[in-house]
Structure 1
Amino acid sequence: MKNKRFSFLAMCMAVAGMLGLGLSSCQKSSSSDTIPPDKNKLEIRFTDDAGFFDSIVVDVQMVAVRIDTSQSNEGREDHHPEGREWGELFHDHDQGWEDPDEHAIWDTLNIQAGEYDLMQLSNGADTLLSSDYIPKGRIIAIRITLGTNNYLVKNGVKYPLNLIDGFNNVYVRIYGDQIVQVHPGSYRLWIDFDAGRSVVKVWNGSFYLKPFIRAFVVSNMGTVQGFVLPMDAYPVITLYNASDTLYALPRKDGFFKIWGVDEGTYSVFINASNGYQDSTITNVQVTAGHITDIGTVHLSK
């Protein structure tokens, strides 16, 4: 496969996905295909929370799914533990992580390997990472293998984004409420790569990638959106409660969207600059499958 950087392309694919145009070159199948009797179909879409950089580019080289072939995804009642659904970074082997289930196998998915610019995948944008047939069974984990061409751009300057030596696999446990059946035998989930919490700057000024990744399903989670103006306040939006914190950077028109939010009551803190005053909105109610719109917030000096 050819390595490519996904920035403008990712946005085009996201728009195409919403319009149903199907710009998904990495697919081995389409929604109209007949699923073989011994297979399921899995679609994984890639999205991001905000980060405070011009670009954050991650080099995705391989994605595999762990499947318990003795069980089914239908009728699952397991739910992700609140506040502990984020993925884990491990060495380039599976020892110490895998469950001992003798019926569990890893299946490597067909993806478009290459560089994905996470900053192009915020505010509700996403891109197709994989759509592939997998052995029939219960999906219990996703493993993402990262390459070495990771970097960020800050104030126009490019910096390497290092991995801890040998630690290039990220594991995400999949629970029943993090995957949705879209057709009989066909499933979909989103992978949220939280850029804001995934970049660590160390004492010598170098940047390291410590991925915060989780799975979610749009219909099982809530969404908070709105507008913050003016943009010369350079607002940074924090959605938080006692168990979780999510971030957003508005688009040029002031619009922001944070999706994949657990049900609950949150506060929205808007950190402003350039002489504008901060603002806080409390008692923001988030409900699964619904959009909570806070309207337009006008910041003042």
Structure 2
Amino acid sequence: MKNHFFATFMLVSASLLFLNACSKNDSSSGVNSRLSIYLTDAPAPYDAVYIDIRDIQVNASADAATGSGWQSLPILRPGVYNLLSFRNGLDTLLASKEIPAGKISQIRLILGANNSVVIKGTAYPLETPSAQQSGLKLNIHADLVADIEYRLWLDFDASRSIVTTGSNKYILKPVIRTYTAATSGTIKGIALPLLHVRGVFVIQNTDTVAAAIPDVLTGAYVIAGLNTGIYNVAIAGDGILKDTTVAAVSVKTGEVSNVGIITLK
């Protein structure tokens, strides 16, 4: 009886030790944070803007200038993305990976050479400077907390990112704004009539900080990544109908401010 009890005790003890060891080895609790990076887009007057995204790297070094501390966040689907597919609050997940919790100072977007813009049905190659292909650096300075997912959006301004030099020659010089849901708010609404609205612009003081082109079927728009504050929302008409401005729209972190339906007259 004693031998049977001793054997059972030893088996249970060994099992507990094994499970405890597995827990320590497999769990990232208290050590890692998940960094997820999404792609979204500001409006642009093109049929399509195709960007070849190959890699995203993050720098956790306190001194990013040294070149140390860079690590890759593998792209879930490396290749060409049409930026205009991700307007009015739409986005796509580019990369998501657990990395050590702590401070990150920069991310670096690695582009390929297969970039193009489509204008009135015709595709033109986007010349990409070698510096952009080797890595477009974006300062973010974020604190990643253990066991908490940190979501970062890359708002690719397609309109300002394409430079024309004449003779149907276009150069890609990316202009990208970054924001997180934890530090920003959102404005949404509906702008009508559909055929007479050129765009929606979010203005603070005299600066246009963000813009959107309403959905062609519904007139709905969503503008995310706004700092807490007071903004004017300007709906631009086509000249036949006049512009309209909604004044003093309050934006708060983590909240959506709905300005409702605005109909130009």
TM-score calculated relative to the size of structure 2: 0.80
Does residue 240 in structure 1 map to residue 233 in structure 2?
Answer: no
Q: Considering fraction of residues, name the structure with more strand.
A: 2
Q: 1:280 to 1:51 in 2, by over 3 A?
A: same
1:173-222 alpha-carbon deviations (Å, 9 max, x no partner)? 1123xx675x7154322222122221222233322211111321123211
The CA distance in 2 between the partners of 1:227 and 1:56, in whole Å, is: 25
1:250: which partner in 2? 214
Instruction: Indicate which of 131, 134, 137 corresponds to 2:96.
Output: 131
The CA distance in 2 between the partners of 1:153 and 1:249, in whole Å, is: 18
2:46: which partner in 1? 53
- Higher relative CO (CA 8 A, sep ≥ 6), structure 1 or 2? 1
Instruction: Indicate which of 108, 111, 121 corresponds to 2:72.
Output: 108
Aligned 1:178-217 pairs, distance under 5 A = 184=147, 186-217=149-180
Residue 148 of structure 1 deviates from its aligned partner by: 0.9
CA contact (8 A) 1:107 1:134 kept: no
Equivalent pairs counted in the alignment come to 236
Aligned 1:156-195 pairs, distance under 5 A = 156-168=121-133, 169-176=135-142, 184=147, 186-195=149-158
CA contact (8 A) 2:103 2:141 kept: no
CA contact (8 A) 2:186 2:256 kept: yes
2:110: which partner in 1? 145
Equivalent position SS for 1:197:
helix
RMSD: 2.5
The letter of the residue matching 1:143 is R
2:187: which partner in 1? 224
The CA distance in 1 between the partners of 2:86 and 2:59, in whole Å, is: 25
The CA distance in 2 between the partners of 1:107 and 1:142, in whole Å, is: 9
1:43: which partner in 2? 36
Greater CA drift, 291-300 or 203-212: 203-212
CA contact (8 A) 2:229 2:250 kept: yes
Q: 1:39 to 1:291 in 2, by over 3 A?
A: closer
TM-score calculated relative to the size of structure 1: 0.71
Equivalent position SS for 2:28:
coil
CA contact (8 A) 1:234 1:274 kept: no
Equivalent position SS for 2:96:
strand
The CA distance in 2 between the partners of 1:61 and 1:129, in whole Å, is: 10
2:242: which partner in 1? 277
Residue 37 of structure 1 deviates from its aligned partner by: 7.0
Q: Considering fraction of residues, name the structure with more helix.
A: 2
The runs of 5 or more residues in structure 2 that have no matched partner are: 1-25
Equivalent position SS for 2:132:
coil
Consecutive aligned runs of 4 or more in structure 1 exceeding 6 Å deviation: none
The CA distance in 2 between the partners of 1:264 and 1:59, in whole Å, is: 35
Residue 109 of structure 1 deviates from its aligned partner by: 1.4
